[in-house]
Structure 1
Amino acid sequence: MFVMDQDIKDVECQTIYKESVHEEEEPDILHKGKRPVILKFDDVVYKIKTKKGGLFEKNTKSEEKVILKGVTGTVQPGEMLAMLGPSGSGKTTLLTALGGRLGGKLHGSITYNGEPFTNTMKRNTGFVTQDDVLYPHLTVTETLVFTALLRLPNTVTKEQKVKHAKDVLEQLGLTKCKDSIVGSTTLRGVSGGERKRVSIGQELLINPSLLFLDEPTSGLDSTTAQRIVSTLWELARGGRTVVMTIHQPSSRLYYLFHKVLLLAEGNTLYFGKGSEAIEYFSSIGYAPAMAMNPSDFLLDLANGIYTDGLNQDHVIDKQHLISTFKSKFDAQLKSINQEISDPEISQRRFQGTGSGKWPTSWSQQFFVLLRRDVKERKYEAFSALRISQVLVVALMSGLLWYKSDISHLQDQIGLLFFVSGFWGFFPLFQAIFTFPQELVMIEKERSSGMYRLSSYFMSRMVADLPMELILPTIFLLITYFMAGLKHNFASFLCTLLSLLLNVLVAQGLGLAIGAVVLNQKSAATLASVIMLCFLLAGGFYVQNVPGFIAWVKYISISYYTYQLFIVSQYHAGETYPCSSGQCQVSEFPSIKEMGFNFHGQALTAVALVVMMIGYRVIAYVALMRIGVTKKLA
């Protein structure tokens, strides 16, 4: 009865899919060149190196651990394969390998219609990660539209891309929440099931021939999980090849899977039709003792547990299950997966060879990413906490140095040095977390060939400019006039430009440290040490620095900014009241080492500009070395 109902449902879904394609009248390019993909994997082995021994032990050895141990299988268009197995069985590793996203010591053969994985294949492949990596402040519609603008080719107009994004939104039942922000664990947005459907929708925008999903039902209630897997089932029946990992599906979900791959410690215990799994294990002496969810029974076996007819648990030999499966199905699977055995082709299979063509131009990527960055980042850049912090410090500084004139020269230069220090630390620590927090997003989007690293990096730098420069400008407007600094436009403008240059250099340093270190705690510690060293060598605390360490000031942001601040407020020949009457400002101990010649100040500004550019170059080079970005930079 179930088989008959299943067949009827299959025919209905195929008809619905074909009709929907014609009714939507999507651009031909979305379907042109899309061909069904036969995924074959034969004797896939993956190894990693692990270190044995503690940090302070002398005999620390490097051992090789085998994660996948010769896994073989095939998935046809119109089929949905579910990979089952306990935690640590190698499900996600295999899925990542099949999706062309796994490097390292990967051996065996993985082909797509008999060909190795290429950039062209990558852009026709959807990959949904277990964790939903989405921008929290964007709405559901904005998320899908920005993805469509980046991933769909130039042959599709902007209007068609937006329409296609909205069609996918309706297809996945997201119409009710289309104007709601996605949200995160700390920001309330759409529900977990809706967030998962948004992630799936991002991949469906390219109408992928091959779709991979890692635990698509993780953390969802049974009804939501059923809805998502049913949607995937319909997508598969439309001619796509769907592969997913899933931990413990309900029986309703299990019977939607066309094929099941059961893994235990990297070994295959079963591969074949989901409806035939119980029959297979019964034939080798492991029949379920009662009516139960098939996935529960399979997971028990994968964990080495078998419950007999007396409801008693027995520990079974998993090696026996592995060898039995190999003897029964190994020859059959290998005959199915016969393919090109040229060693050179096999070697290139995991190197991402193929067309390097991008779906959109550099300028298109830049402007779309720029719009997205501004929409997302404005909430963080102008958060109430950040604005309040700047306003409180500005007002406090203005009150402490209220109407401090040149007769209080030491106080004035103390204010100038404080401003250089505060606006060295503040943007530095804001920028440090930029790339560590966005690393997962960068890897996700870059691995799908969405955009160039250079377009992402430049859009990020440009988007940050207005947001990073508005707050220091407001700070100076408040503090400058309250503190009684020179009330003329030229002095104020020079001070403001010096402050903004200081902010950009400090931000660049933060970006470089964050990109190089990538660990937020380590990066923050390193930045604190570096900035404190810069402050100590800034020329305010110590004027007579020993020669062997005096070089530190030449790499100090605080030293150059402080020097520009001094020149902005004072000039050669200016005097101030002192115990002997009137003294030269240029002879004041904290200023004497700076000098007032124009040539020296021009070099100071040039030094800061070189730092501003140099730190960003370091950050970009560091990003090129990160995981998947290294392959596509």
Structure 2
Amino acid sequence: MGSSGAGKTTLLNVLTGRNKSSLSTNGEVSLNGRSLEPSEMKQLSAYVQQEDVFMASQTVSEVLHFAVKMRSPERLSKEKRERLVESLLVTFGLKNCENTKIGSVKEKGISRGEKKRLTVACEILTDPPVLFCDEPTSGLDSFMSHQVMKCLKDLATEGKIVICTIHQPSTWVYQMADRLVVLCQGKVAFEGKTKNVEPFLATLGSPVPEFAGVSDHFIRVLSRGVGEKQKDYEVRMQRILNQQQSTHQLTRSESVRYQQQREDKTKKKKIYRSWCFQFFALTGRGLIQISRRKKYIVARLILTVLVSWFLGMVYLRIPIHRDHLLGIKGVIFGTLQMNNILYMMPSLISFWEDYPVVVREYQSNMYSPSAYFMARSLTDSILHLIYPIIFFVIIYFMAGLPLTFIGMTTFLTMCIAMSMIITSLSHAVVSLCGNVTISLTVAPLISVPVMVFGGFLITVDAVPWYYKPLSYVSWYHYAFEAIMIAFFKDHGRIEGCQTVNPLFDIECSTGEKLITDQDFKISNFWFDFVAVGAILVFWKIFGLLTFVFRIRSKT
């Protein structure tokens, strides 16, 4: 127990060995006299953190089913999983809301008390000997606080060690505690059984007034009074700390489960399920999430149709003629560019909105970050496969582009590749930056330069030598070259080229001549596909590595 800023959450982070990336610590953590490494403590304990983070579109039942599937020590049959979930729903009073979505700030869902009980239910699936809870009653009214603490008290009665931090408990909640540790400015002001608190306060000259709660009075004693000088306050706090040190005694836990199970538990692997099992389970959950984002899907579908229709109207039925060659380049440029721009910002935002959930689930040993990243990439790719096809159908036939098999397949392939590359780049950038706002600035700084030197606005040979590397790594360049070759490799004489126009003097007698005038090589056709594929793989791998590093750095 302690006031805000007393060091309660920091203490739990040190004890559990989690969220310590910004902390510098020394000393050791021991349980019943045995020193524990952070990895051992993670395996022996569960940690209910202060913030309850879930995916808003999931229901209570789905959250528990997924947790049981991923965290139960043994692979359970469907019938056993159903019975276990049913038992948890009844035990934690969640039966009435089992089919209700979790919800978020923007979408109404279950209450905060129900979220807290759901968090506890997910954490005890591994039957941990020790359960840490960081302010489990924060934001709850007195009745809901009592319900949550009753669940924790029942777990303690069953033989678990339950350690909670709390700000200022009600009398009912306070009386549930077996032992109390009071923190003040990161130091222990009292440690002992709750029945010893009032005698301790009396020795300080601050007996509990009649009709006042013990916890309320203790916090008042530890707080700096209005008008009290800082020097006087520090002297008073030092007197309390000195009094605590003279009476402080460490005691052994009544639970003996640690000694009985230590050897077995430390030998078990950290994550119970195989990587493939994790991947398919996460893919299934991702598909369910996508199916419930109907407004998001419809909005992006409307945007895709409107942009492709607008672009198609600009280049409506454009002929392959000398006077319209810039228009042909324009429709290719616009299509490739739009298949990047349309998916950059949505990919950045949607990928990162579940980041807190992934961190919590990884800390709970549900799955590895690599399995989540690959599963999320696969589910996102489904949308980024459908939208480019719709875009291609509208723009290709409205613009009247060559109806050849190689031309259509190349154009479609590059449209899909552009959307997938920008999606992978977005995942990589936001994983690297760890912040959506910064990523929205960084991502265009990468994509725009490679677009400028992709061959649309300046030929490859005309690019200054110091910008050549940008041209060589530009996915726009390889896509543009492949499409131009597919359209004009087998095209004979281009209409209108026999007429010399001094205002538009382009040597374009044949399709092959047009290709070479763009500083493209017909022999590079299949190499362009390989290059685009290699760039896609690079951003996938880079995004995977940065994401894994980002998640693991949070533990």
- Indicate whether 1:457 and 2:370 are aligned: no
Of the structure 1 ranges 372-381 and 542-551, higher mean CA displacement relative to structure 2 is found in: 372-381
SS at match of 2:26: strand
Aligned equivalent of 2:3, options 86, 97, 105: 86
Aligned equivalent of 1:559, options 471, 477, 481: 477
Structure-to-structure mapping, 1:233-248, within 5 angstroms: 233-248=153-168
Shift of 1:592: 2.4
Distance in 2 between residues matched to 1:629 and 1:231, nearest whole Å: 32
- Indicate whether 1:514 and 2:514 are aligned: no
Per-residue displacement from partner, 1:345-378 (whole Å, max 9, x unpaired)? xxxxxxx986545312222111111111221244
Q: Which residue pairs with 2:273 in the alignment?
A: 360
Structure-to-structure mapping, 1:154-173, within 5 angstroms: 154-173=74-93
Shift of 1:468: 1.9
Distance in 2 between residues matched to 1:502 and 1:592, nearest whole Å: 25
Shift of 1:148: 0.8
Over 3 Å counting, the alpha-carbon distance change for 1:327 and 1:215 in structure 2 is closer
SS at match of 2:63: helix
Q: Which residue pairs with 2:67 in the alignment?
A: 147
Provide the aligned C-alpha RMSD in A: 2.7
Contact 2:181–2:190 (CA under 8 A) maintained in structure 1: yes
Q: In proportion to residue count, which structure has more helix?
A: 2
Q: Which residue pairs with 2:30 in the alignment?
A: 111
Q: Under a length normalisation based on structure 2, what TM-score does the superposition of the two structures give?
A: 0.88
Distance in 2 between residues matched to 1:324 and 1:196, nearest whole Å: 34
Shift of 1:134: 0.4
Per-residue displacement from partner, 1:443-487 (whole Å, max 9, x unpaired)? 211222222233222222222221221111111112211121122
The code of the aligned residue for 2:288 comes to: K
- Indicate whether 1:97 and 2:14 are aligned: yes
Shift of 1:498: 1.5
Distance in 1 between residues matched to 2:271 and 2:373, nearest whole Å: 17
Distance in 2 between residues matched to 1:169 and 1:276, nearest whole Å: 37
Q: Which residue pairs with 1:568 in the alignment?
A: 486
Q: Which residue pairs with 2:505 in the alignment?
A: none
Distance in 1 between residues matched to 2:491 and 2:194, nearest whole Å: 90
Of the structure 1 ranges 201-210 and 289-298, higher mean CA displacement relative to structure 2 is found in: 289-298
SS at match of 1:561: helix
Contact 1:373–1:459 (CA under 8 A) maintained in structure 2: yes
Aligned equivalent of 1:605, options 503, 508, 529: 529
- Indicate whether 1:260 and 2:180 are aligned: yes
Over 3 Å counting, the alpha-carbon distance change for 1:420 and 1:452 in structure 2 is same
SS at match of 2:191: strand
Q: In proportion to residue count, which structure has more strand?
A: 1
Shift of 1:526: 0.9
Contact 1:435–1:518 (CA under 8 A) maintained in structure 2: no
Contact 2:428–2:543 (CA under 8 A) maintained in structure 1: yes
Shift of 1:630: 8.0
Shift of 1:133: 1.1
Aligned equivalent of 1:126, options 9, 29, 46: 46
Unaligned runs of 5+ in 1: 1-83, 307-311, 338-351
Shift of 1:93: 0.5
The code of the aligned residue for 1:561 comes to: A
Distance in 1 between residues matched to 2:516 and 2:114, nearest whole Å: 62
Distance in 1 between residues matched to 2:301 and 2:545, nearest whole Å: 32
The code of the aligned residue for 2:363 comes to: S
Contact 1:164–1:205 (CA under 8 A) maintained in structure 2: no
Q: Which residue pairs with 1:309 in the alignment?
A: none
SS at match of 1:406: coil
Aligned equivalent of 2:509, options 558, 583, 587: 583
Shift of 1:434: 5.3
Structure-to-structure mapping, 1:177-216, within 5 angstroms: 177-216=97-136
SS at match of 1:204: helix
The code of the aligned residue for 1:396 comes to: F
Contact 2:312–2:395 (CA under 8 A) maintained in structure 1: yes
Q: Which residue pairs with 2:503 in the alignment?
A: none
Of the structure 1 ranges 486-495 and 227-236, higher mean CA displacement relative to structure 2 is found in: 486-495
Distance in 1 between residues matched to 2:105 and 2:30, nearest whole Å: 38
Q: Which residue pairs with 1:616 in the alignment?
A: 540
Per-residue displacement from partner, 1:186-238 (whole Å, max 9, x unpaired)? 12222222222221221122222211111212222222222111221122112
Distance in 1 between residues matched to 2:485 and 2:84, nearest whole Å: 58
Over 3 Å counting, the alpha-carbon distance change for 1:155 and 1:180 in structure 2 is closer
The code of the aligned residue for 2:377 comes to: M
Q: What percent identity do the matched residue pairs reach?
A: 25
Q: Which residue pairs with 1:593 in the alignment?
A: 518
Contact 2:133–2:164 (CA under 8 A) maintained in structure 1: yes
Per-residue displacement from partner, 1:603-633 (whole Å, max 9, x unpaired)? 21111111111112112221232253587xx
Distance in 2 between residues matched to 1:86 and 1:567, nearest whole Å: 71
- Indicate whether 1:397 and 2:298 are aligned: no
Per-residue displacement from partner, 1:220-269 (whole Å, max 9, x unpaired)? 22222221112211221121111112222222222222222211110111
SS at match of 1:526: helix
Q: Which residue pairs with 2:439 in the alignment?
A: 523
Q: Which residue pairs with 1:388 in the alignment?
A: 302
The code of the aligned residue for 1:464 comes to: D
SS at match of 1:486: coil
Over 3 Å counting, the alpha-carbon distance change for 1:327 and 1:278 in structure 2 is closer
Distance in 2 between residues matched to 1:579 and 1:363, nearest whole Å: 58
The code of the aligned residue for 1:410 comes to: L
The code of the aligned residue for 2:299 comes to: L
Over 3 Å counting, the alpha-carbon distance change for 1:221 and 1:473 in structure 2 is same
Contact 1:118–1:354 (CA under 8 A) maintained in structure 2: no
Contact 1:125–1:210 (CA under 8 A) maintained in structure 2: yes
SS at match of 2:139: coil
The code of the aligned residue for 2:276 comes to: S
Shift of 1:323: 4.2
Over 3 Å counting, the alpha-carbon distance change for 1:375 and 1:326 in structure 2 is farther
Aligned equivalent of 2:452, options 507, 523, 536: 536
Size of the aligned set, in residue pairs, is 527
